[in-house]
Amino acid sequence: MAVEDLLKAVRHAWLTYTLALINVMVYIYELYLSGSIAEPSPYALLKLGLVNILVTEYHEWWRLFTAMFVHLSWIHLAMNTFFLIYLGSQLELFVGKVRYLVLYITAGLFGNVLTVALMDPYTISGGASGALFGIAGALIMIEGVLKRNIQTALANAFFLFLINSWMPHVNAVAHLGGLLVGIAFGYLYGNYVKEKMAKMLYWDEFY
């Protein structure tokens, strides 16, 4: 990609790139807390990540939010950053920055809430995966609604969930929570766009 193309992409989808930058900066802070450049220490993850028992027993609710930006390794960060930029920039341009940000945070939070509710109290987790599944679910469902093929969209969404959630040490519960939020958002927004398009066609025919 040429420098000009990259700058254009950043300018039009700056919120996605800002979220990616926040993830990177938080990861650097994790390494700082760990005193290492290899990977975050248990201390850093306990301090910043989602520790279920600290949420339920000590009411550290802020972890539901901060854990969305915490990553467990360079590979974890790199994969999530790639998919955030690849998928997030598409959704940001289509639905607008405010809706996009609301979806991102809501999907990430809901995935983490489900994690606390359904998983072992001593589970420690983190990552943008819940939010990313929200983005993916929204893109798939919007396309399904606009093409009037919701059943296929749902099947594609859950197929995506299955192939990305079977590996060990993956928080499938957070994935599912984010995906459900994305599907709901995509369904509502897809129908909103469809109604607007129908009204535009009506007025074009009327005049």
Q: Which residue has the tokens 């609301």?
A: 102
Q: Name which of 85, 93, 129, 97 is nearest 110 in CA terms.
A: 129
Give the integer Cα–Cα distance in Å for 176 and 18: 25
CA dist., res. 69 & res. 13, Å (int)? 19
Single-letter code of the amino acid located at 199:
K
Catalytic residue among 71, 76, 125, 175: 175
Of the chain, the end-to-end C-alpha distance in Å amounts to: 44
> Where do we find the tokens 């809706």?
99
**What is the rounded distance in angstroms from the CA atom of residue 174 to the CA atom of residue 41?**
22
Q: Is 98 exposed, middle or buried (0-12, 13-18, 19+ CB in 10 A)?
A: exposed
175 assigned to active site: yes
Give the whole-angstrom CA distance, residue 147 versus residue 141. 10
Give yes or no: 165 in active site.
Answer: no
Structure-block tokens of residue 10: 């950043």
41, 129, 165, 169: the catalytic one is 129
Active site residues: 129, 175
